[in-house]
């Protein structure tokens, strides 16, 4: 069927409600809109399902959620009766239809004879990962679109380790999803019809998670002198972050307007901690209350952003910077206490700053790189634990890190605790988190990082991104700025696969001065990302290098 045939099939289907049909009827004279919604199905990619809400096969709606869940259910059933009995833990964030999609997921699983465990209200992504492991479940599902705009939602699948699916397993699950021919015909049971196959997860799970998070604390620091402003960006972090920090005695000032779960994110300029807009209201609070630090978590609470008062101003730290300071704090304190494992290992990604690598080298901690996506770090934790290595830290440049491996995804609840502890610890020494960062630059070199996103919307966006990467492969730069390109890491080649990396459409240009540029398509959005990492003697030199590096890629 062509896209018009699929549109008419949906419009005439007895499974579609009258309200849903009215949405479809409203676009009846708009061929471009019909094509956009029905030319293809929304893709379950390496980051799961994520897209714009609405009716259509290329939109996020209950029917496409049912289809993906039916594919996952078929995968579970193929694994056997024990897998079905172990079941699936399901959680959701604060977004539009997140509650409904959570119930639909449970209903489809139950219709297939698979046990489903459902949280009674919104919970952070890391707690879902924790719950999978705690319940001994076969897998998990998180309904979230992280920090995307309000019109988005998504669906992520986790394995029995509480880790998002790695590519080999993801491909198998996608194969099952693709075999589900008609999303409108997938059966979903109500909770009442499920006959005990759907179970609500009670507050005991919260308490177990909170206890695990508090166990990562290293020092009993003096807390009463530290003022912390916190915003959950209308999302899932409000209760867990404030609970953990409060129980440990931290003075937390909540941004009240942004503590209310809100599908529209109406009181924040932007819920993404990587953007200035996420801090606007929190900084107003900080200035009124003379706070020492501002922290904010994204709506599903797996990423943490921070701003630090320095010489009367509040300065934001990047994900690379805050993680480097946390890494230094953790390693230095564990070494001082004699608890730093001799076989310790840290994981970060190929687009993460090398500053953390240098810190680890100085403490005798091994470093292993992964592709972008915390699922790769979660998977490395599992495989290296089996080898007898000891996980000490994991992080990405995109504001996500992990401290205790009872979770296998990035965890902003843990990160919030450790960041506040580090801030309090250094405050007793008369130093801020930025003072510590600057001392790292003095010791290891000045690192400056930047990320440029180029959006390619529409049905031809994927093709444009592919063409851009092909152009860079066929005509790579010989130099970037004043430095020559000494090596090109192409993660689609056999060389990189032999080095242990899954095949991926990523290019990384290593420069003669230790700087690098990496280019990759986003796994969840129609964007191509350019990562710039500069190493220099000082900030002025680094900024000049960065400007030249960006200009070198303007043609793309």
Tell me the C-alpha distance between 250 and 421, whole Å: 9
Q: What angle do CA 106, 153, 449 make, to 5 degrees?
A: 130
**Could you confirm whether 217 is annotated as catalytic?**
no
From the candidates 146, 231, 353, 533, give the one annotated as an active-site residue: 146
Question: Is residue 282 within 8 Å of 257, Cβ to Cβ?
Answer: no
How many Å apart are CA 532 and CA 511, to the nearest integer? 11
Place of tokens 């709506």: 299
CA dihedral sign, ordered 114, 373, 176, 152: positive
Helices vs. strands in the chain: H and E counts, helices first: 19, 22
- Dihedral in degrees, nearest 10, Cα atoms 240, 246, 251, 254: 40
**Where are any strands of DSSP class E within 331-424?**
344-349, 366-370, 390-396, 400-402
Sequence-ordered list of residues with C-beta below 8 angstroms from that of 553, at least 6 positions apart, any chain: 452, 477, 480, 517, 519, 530
Q: Where are the alpha helices (DSSP H) in 238-346?
A: 238-247, 280-289, 319-337
**How far is Cα 42 from Cα 468, in angstroms, rounded to an integer?**
22
Q: In what order do the strands lie in the sheet with 251-254?
A: 251-254, 227-231, 293-297, 304-310, 313-317
The number of residues making up the chain comes to 556
Residues annotated as catalytic are 146
């Amino acid at each position: 069927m062509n896209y018009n045939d699929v549109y008419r099939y949906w419009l005439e289907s007895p499974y579609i409600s009258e309200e849903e049909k009215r949405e479809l009827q409203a676009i009846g004279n708009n061929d471009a809109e019909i094509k956009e919604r029905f030319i293809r199905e929304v893709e379950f990619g390496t980051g799961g399902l994520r897209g714009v809400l609405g009716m259509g096969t290329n939109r996020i709606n209950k029917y496409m959620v049912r289809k993906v869940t039916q594919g996952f259910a078929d995968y579970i059933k193929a694994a056997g009766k024990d897998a079905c009995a172990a079941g699936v833990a399901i959680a959701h964030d604060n977004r539009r239809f997140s509650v409904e999609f959570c119930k639909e997921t449970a209903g489809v699983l139950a219709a297939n004879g698979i046990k489903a465990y459902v949280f009674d209200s919104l919970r952070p992504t890391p707690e879902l990962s924790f719950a999978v492991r705690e319940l001994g479940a076969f897998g998990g599902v998180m309904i979230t679109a992280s920090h995307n705009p309000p019109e988005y939602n998504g669906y992520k699948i986790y394995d029995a380790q509480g880790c998002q699916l790695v590519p080999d397993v993801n491909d198998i699950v996608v194969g099952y999803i693709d075999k589900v021919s008609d999303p409108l015909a997938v059966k979903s049971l109500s909770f009442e019809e499920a006959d005990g196959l759907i179970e609500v997860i009670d507050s005991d799970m919260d308490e177990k998670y909170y206890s695990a998070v508090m166990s990562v604390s290293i020092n009993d620091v003096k807390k009463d002198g530290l003022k912390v402003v916190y915003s959950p960006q209308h999302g899932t972090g409000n209760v867990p972050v404030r609970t953990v920090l409060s129980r440990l005695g931290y003075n937390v000032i909540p941004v009240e307007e942004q503590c209310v779960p809100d599908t529209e994110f109406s009181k924040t300029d932007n819920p993404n901690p990587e953007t200035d807009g996420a801090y606007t209201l929190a900084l107003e609070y900080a200035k009124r209350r003379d706070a020492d630090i501002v922290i904010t978590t994204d709506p599903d609470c797996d990423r943490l952003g921070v701003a630090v008062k320095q010489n009367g101003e509040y300065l934001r730290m990047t994900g690379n910077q805050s993680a480097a300071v946390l890494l230094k704090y953790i390693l230095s304190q564990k070494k001082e206490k004699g608890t730093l494992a001799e076989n310790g290992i840290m994981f970060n990604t190929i687009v993460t700053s090398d500053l953390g690598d240098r810190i680890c080298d100085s403490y005798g901690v091994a470093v292993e790189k992964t592709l972008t996506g915390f699922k790769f770090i979660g998977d490395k934790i599992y495989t290296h634990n089996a080898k007898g290595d000891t996980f000490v830290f994991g992080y990405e440049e995109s504001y996500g890190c992990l401290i205790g491996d009872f979770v296998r995804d990035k965890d902003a609840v843990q990160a919030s605790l450790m960041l506040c502890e580090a801030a309090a610890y250094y405050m007793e020494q008369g130093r801020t988190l930025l003072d510590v960062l600057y001392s790292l630059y003095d010791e290891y070199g000045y690192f400056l990082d930047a990320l440029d996103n180029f959006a390619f919307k529409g049905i031809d966006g994927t093709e444009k991104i592919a063409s851009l990467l092909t152009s860079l492969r066929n005509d790579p730069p010989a130099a970037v700025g004043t430095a020559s390109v000494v090596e090109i890491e192409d993660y689609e080649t056999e060389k990189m696969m032999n080095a242990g990396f899954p095949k991926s459409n990523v290019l990384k240009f290593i420069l003669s001065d230790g700087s690098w540029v990496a280019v990759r398509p986003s796994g969840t959005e129609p964007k191509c990302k350019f990562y710039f990492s500069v190493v220099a003697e000082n900030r002025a030199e680094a900024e000049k290098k960065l400007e030249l590096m960006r200009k070198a890629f303007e043609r793309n």
